[in-house]
Structure 1
Amino acid sequence: MTDTTGPEATRTPTTLDELANTYTQTLFDLDPAFATVMGKPGRETEYRDYSPDGYRADADAARSTLDAAASLRPEDDVDVVTLDALNERLGLALEIHEAGHDIGELNNIASPAQEIRNVLDLMPTDTAEQWSHLAGKLANIPAALDGYVASLRAAADRGRIAAVRQVDTVIEQAGRYIADDGYFAGLVAGARTGDGDLPASVAADLARGADAARAGYAKLRDYLATELRPLAPTEDAVGRERYALHSRQFLGSAVDLDETYAWGVAELDRIIAEQEEVAGQIKAGASVPEAIEILDADPARQLNGTEALRAWMQTTSDEAVAALAGTHFEIPEIMRTVECRIAPTQEGGIYYTPPADDFSRPGRMWWSVPAGEDTFTTWKEKTTVYHEGVPGHHLQMGYQTVKKDVLNSWRRSACWVSGHGEGWALYAERLMADLGYLDDPGDRLGMLDAQRMRAARVVFDLGVHLGLPVPERWGSGTWTADTGRAFLRKNIAISDGQLDFEFTRYLGWPGQAPAYKIGQRLWQQIRDDVRAREGDGFDPRAFHTRALSLGSVGLDTLRRALIPAA
């Protein structure tokens, strides 16, 4: 059988590949902004239909693809995984659509309110023509937002309304976008090509587009404030039925929620104990807060200003690529560039955007720095660079992008499962510690700090949304948003601005945040099961290559691919 795991592997596309490729093209047609994210040229100025008709079109495409796939037989092992993944992902998407949870999404990080603006960050701006495309995109924002409002109204008619906390947050975000010194004003003020100022006609189009975008977001803000907010519930928790659906969406695995909650509580306790041990290495007898205070006060671990932060991110990322390529991982030359940037927004959060399909745009690591924050500490963030860059998201997503001759376009570009992707990134953090790259006690405490945050999110997210009992160590009764926030403050060592962002995110995006740590757990279980199966012949580098060669799939699909049934 043809080897399909190495970077240079090839295979002949099959009928199932053709179906998956056709489905991917349909996704690009339905959502031109998704094509922009993936670096596909054409229709640069357009947005998807955010109205209920647009979501029905999505469901129709998934349904027809599943119907066609049902008549096909896999021709090789790659097809087996493709069929498994299509059935799991598209089948679940239809469940979510039929339950009415695909429209009316509104939260502080991953709803159309942000997506419509965020795609602008990924549009190239090196030439006048590219700025003209961006101007056209801006001009089309009002229509995209009108469609979104239509979906919010349709969801409200079905009783699907985001909690008032989320509504208020998006109202505030929209206000920042349209302010005199906000995002759109800054975009126009900073518009330049590589050769200098924009041509007058393009500059005028950009200004008109920005004005249209500001008017569109002002209209959205007014709708949210006057029409949706009075209907919005004060309760943040979504309940077990909806939570289970979203948990499957983010994991690609139906885990036992109660067992997972109990594991999360135990894992948090384990990490705290390890932190306490490392704190004693920083200063004999020091508590974790005391060790953090020592690290924060260490001038050698401080960065002043966002440019210093960006430069340090870049250096750390470059060093990781150089150290790991050809030793612990196979990293093709084309994947060895990770570009670190400060995001143009101030909403909090660190994120990665994948390379263009042909790597003409490299993978990028972005830091969205909240307003007023200008001092940063390296001990806390070294593990984050590994998470977002190499061997985390960049290695994972770059690998599936580079495998043009093995994976169909859906597996390479359009299938993303948070539990797989974020679980891998946490797995990568812990792996870097195991490989000795976080041996410095401060850096190791930073890794444990990040792991503690992810474990605390499992406890918080499941506990609040399902109304589970508070562990004795953390209080009594059942979880509420208020008790949950106090719990997060004790377990997540971030600024108040970042904590506010994260707290609101967990409440408005149920099941997503726990997918990181639960995904890591499932990745480690799969690796350990493969190791037990292969015995002395187990090769970690070969395991990672084989696993990453599959692309992003649900974690049950990953297990079945790596550990086939006897």
Structure 2
Amino acid sequence: MSDTTVPGASDGAPERQSTPIDRIAEDWVDTVVDLLPEYGTYIGRTEVNHRLGDYSPEGHERYMAAVKRTLAALDATAPADDVDEVTKTDLSSELRLTLEGSEAGLHLRDLNVINSPSQEIRESFDLMPTATADDWSTIAKRLAAVDDAIAGYIVTLRKGMREGVTPARRQVLEVLEQARKYSGRDGFFHSFTADAGAAGELPQSLRTDLERGADTAAEAYSRLEQFLENELAPVATREDAVGREIYALQSRRFLGAVIDLDETYEWGVAELARMTAEQESIAQEIVPDASVQEAIAFLDGDASRKLHGTDALQRWMQETSDRAVAELGATHFDIPEPIRALECMIAPTTEGGIYYTGPTDDFSRPGRMWWSVPEGVTEFDTWRELTTVYHEGVPGHHLQIGQAVYNRSRLNTWRRQLAGTSGHAEGWALYAERLMEELGYLDDPADRLGMLDGQRMRAVRVVLDIGVHLGKPRLDGSGVWDAEYALDVMRRNVNMDDSFIRFEVNRYLGWPGQAPSYKVGQRIWEEVRDAARAREGASFSLKDFHRRALDLGGVGLDTLRTTLLA
């Protein structure tokens, strides 16, 4: 980064002079990219694509030392303007939470079905360029590095075993099955390298390196599988709940805000009842006097609302996304040209998640919406998934994250590409779903029913997640929340394939505090908007509010509130 200016884009905004706090933030991005190359790949720093992070205890200590150095530098530096105030507040908060997590030993039990080193290492290949022989040469080097990364991760988990800090057995067994899929001859690594032919003719030596790398990576996951089965599973905790102390820490991490967990639980119960009543009302618009289940059965039988196969799903996602970008960009949002490109992708895995990855800093790799379709799922209903496209695309994640990346004239790289919380990002995406209803994009009762199905799921997650991890009384008064009851409640409130529901419940059990951040984040976004409207009265402009909010980039929700309402 230049010592005098923040890199600018042709966005029409005046260049803002770089400050000492900007330089600390830029240095932190460089440090993260160096120590965690997977994050570098995510934001498009291709110079580290040949490496993987050090997941050993020594690697963790190096990272913590860097956190302390950066925090000390921030503490010693005064903000130069309001942009600096936000940067210092949010980066300091993130770093302190990282230290708290380390002191609590969270890295020693860092294993779950969706967001832990086992998945991070594998997923690091998804965003790597594959167009040229040089790209595949870089991939071959990273494949070879999987062995050390997995070995370091196993050493860290063994340290946790010695100290009595282990993940839940349920998570161990699920990740074991994921590792088994990755390690097979028909698993990810061999399938991935088999696609190398798409880059044209590759030298035989490179093909040999790729084959050897795929073998190395698969063997590493085989060793992880054996470790999980033979060493960790027998000593892993039988309890899914993490308890109030760890849960509160994780909640702060995912929200960037402090909330009253008990009040939020009660609000979640009320919100679930409200979503259910709204869904029941719309069901009767679809079929007179029908229940929600009867309306869903009617829609599931409507061939005009059904897609067959992932190719059809991908085409429909892309067409829907392109239409939303074109129409909203002409009416309700200022969407710069680079942000108008969004690629809809079928993920190379079958875990069941739907997710978004942001564009690179220069937009050479656009934002992407990914769908990891579970095995055996071949049919998709457009009425269920229309709101998913808006959630992941525009005006959801893509508009939010793409706008932050584009805002080079005012924000440093950390603010544009690495800052923010799940509550800020996912809360905005749920807020965007409701916004699309307000704008008339969900006037079809079937599409509104699908949106409410998702909103109801997010509401039940608040109750389920806090209920299990804090040991709350069950809704029916029959005892306290546990995994079996959580699965039963999800099945009664979410109308989706059972494989998806099982994956989701396992995700909540192993990733405490993350799932509620969606609905709680939406709650805070709506509170901030309504407070701004009340304060500004007749001069309030929703379009201007959205512009001000998105121009901040990623921030914690406490920072969002104080900044927009200052």
Q: What is the TM-score normalised by the length of structure 1? A: 0.97
Deviations along 1:234-287, whole A, 9 cap, x unmatched? 111111111000000000011000000000000000011000110000010010
158, 173, 186: which is aligned to 1:153?
A: 158
Q: Secondary structure at the match of 1:254?
A: coil
Alignment match, 2:35: 30
> In 1, distance between residues paired with 2:548 and 2:328?
17
- 1:551 partner letter: G
Query: Percent of aligned pairs with the same residue?
Result: 55
Pick from 413, 419, 422: which aligns with 2:423?
Answer: 419
Q: Deviations over 1:162-195 (max 9, x none)?
A: 111100011111111112222122113222234x
Q: 1:348 touches 1:498 (CA, 8 Å); kept in 2?
A: yes
What is the CA distance between 1:5 and its match in structure 2? 13
Counterpart of 1:550? 552
CA deviation vs aligned residue, 1:188-211 (integer Å, no higher than 9, x gap): 3222234x3432221111100000
Please state how far the C-alpha of 1:532 moved relative to its aligned partner: 1.2
CA contact (8 A) 2:9 2:409 kept: no
Write the deviation string for residues 87-115 of structure 1: whole angstroms up to 9, x where unpaired.
Answer: 21111111111111134300110000010
2:17 paired residue among 8, 12, 15: 12
Q: 1:177·1:183 contact (CA, 8 Å) conserved in 2?
A: yes
Counterpart of 1:296 in structure 2 is 300
Q: Measure how far apart 1:136 and its partner are.
A: 1.0
Query: 1:6 Cα deviation (Å)?
Result: 11
Q: SS of the residue aligned with 1:284? A: coil
In structure 2, C-alpha distance between the alignment counterparts of 1:324 and 1:156, rounded to whole Å? 52
Aligned pair in 2 of structure 1 residues 294, 6: CA closer, same or farther (>3 Å)?
A: farther
Deviation of 1:469 (Å): 1.5
Secondary structure at the aligned position of 1:193 is classed as helix
Structure 1 letter corresponding to 2:318: Q
Matches of 1:190 and 1:67, distance apart in 2: 47
- More deviation in 80-89 or 383-392? 80-89
Does residue 106 of the first structure (1) align with residue 108 of the second (2)?
no
Q: Give the distance between the partners of 1:109 and 1:476, measured in 2 at CA.
A: 30
CA distance in 1, matches of 2:36, 2:93: 22
State the alpha-carbon separation in 1 of the partners of residues 226 and 475 from structure 2. 42
CA separation of 1:24/1:478 partners in 2, compared to 1, >3 Å: closer, same or farther? same
What is aligned with 1:512?
Answer: 514
For these two proteins, the number of residue pairs brought into alignment is 558
- Superposed counterparts of 1:154-303, under 5 Å: 154-194=159-199, 196-303=200-307
Please give the alpha-carbon distance, in whole angstroms, between the structure 2 residues aligned to 1:189 and 1:81: 46
Residue ranges of structure 1 left out of the alignment (5+ in a row): none
Q: Secondary structure at the match of 1:294?
A: helix
- CA–CA distance in 2 between the matches of 1:416 and 1:190? 35
Q: What letter corresponds to residue 78 of structure 1 in structure 2?
A: V
Question: Paired residue for 1:503, among 502, 505, 510?
Answer: 505
For residues 46 and 61 of structure 1, what CA distance do their matches in structure 2 show? 19
Equivalent residues in 2 for 1:452-531, closer than 5 Å: 452-472=456-476, 476-531=478-533
Match of 1:377 among 378, 381, 385: 381
Which of 128, 132, 139 is the equivalent residue of 2:137?
A: 132
* Deviation of 1:52 (Å): 1.3
2:334 matched to which residue of 1? 330
1:25 deviates by 0.8
Higher mean displacement: 165-174 or 324-333: 324-333
Cα distance in 2 for residues equivalent to 1:5 and 1:437: 32
**CA deviation vs aligned residue, 1:438-467 (integer Å, no higher than 9, x gap):** 110110000000000000000100001111
Q: Does the CA contact (< 8 Å) of 2:33 and 2:48 recur in 1? A: no
Residue in 1 aligned with 2:95? 90
Task: State the shift of 1:493 in Å.
Answer: 1.1
- Residue in 2 aligned with 1:536? 538
Instruction: Tell me, in whole angstroms, the C-alpha distance in 2 between the residues paired with 1:5 and 1:87.
Output: 27
The answer to whether residue 390 in structure 2 is matched with residue 386 in structure 1 is yes
2:159 partner amino acid? A
Equivalent residues of 2:9, 2:408 under 8 A apart: no
Query: What amino acid is the match of 2:450?
Result: G
Aligned to 2:3: none
Q: How big is the shift at 1:477?
A: 2.3
Q: Residue 113 of structure 2 contacts residue 171 of structure 2 at CA under 8 Å; is this kept in 1?
A: yes
Is the contact made by 1:55 and 1:103 (CA closer than 8 Å) also made in structure 2?
no
Secondary structure of the residue aligned to 1:42 is helix
Q: Please say if residues 350 and 374 of structure 2, whose CA atoms lie closer than 8 Å, have aligned partners that are also in contact.
A: yes
CA RMSD of aligned residues (A): 1.4
Matched with 1:318 is 322
- Of residues 446, 449, 453, the one that matches 1:445 is 449
> Could you say what secondary structure the match of 2:106 adopts?
coil
Report the 3-state secondary structure (helix = DSSP H, G, I; strand = E; otherwise coil) of the residue aligned with 1:339: strand
1:561 aligns with 2:563: yes
**Aligned mate of 1:74, from 54, 71, 79:** 79
The Cα shift of 1:483 comes to 1.0
Gapped runs of 5+ residues in structure 2?
1-7
Instruction: Provide the rounded CA distance (Å) in 1 between the counterparts of 2:293 and 2:384.
Output: 13
Residue aligning to 2:5: none
Contact kept? 1:5, 1:546, Cα under 8 Å? no
Distance 1:210 1:483 in 2: 41
Whether the 8 Å contact between 2:9 and 2:406 is mirrored in structure 1 is: no
Structure 2 equivalent of residue 64 of structure 1: 69
CA 447–498 in structure 1, closer or farther in 2 if over 3 Å, else same: same
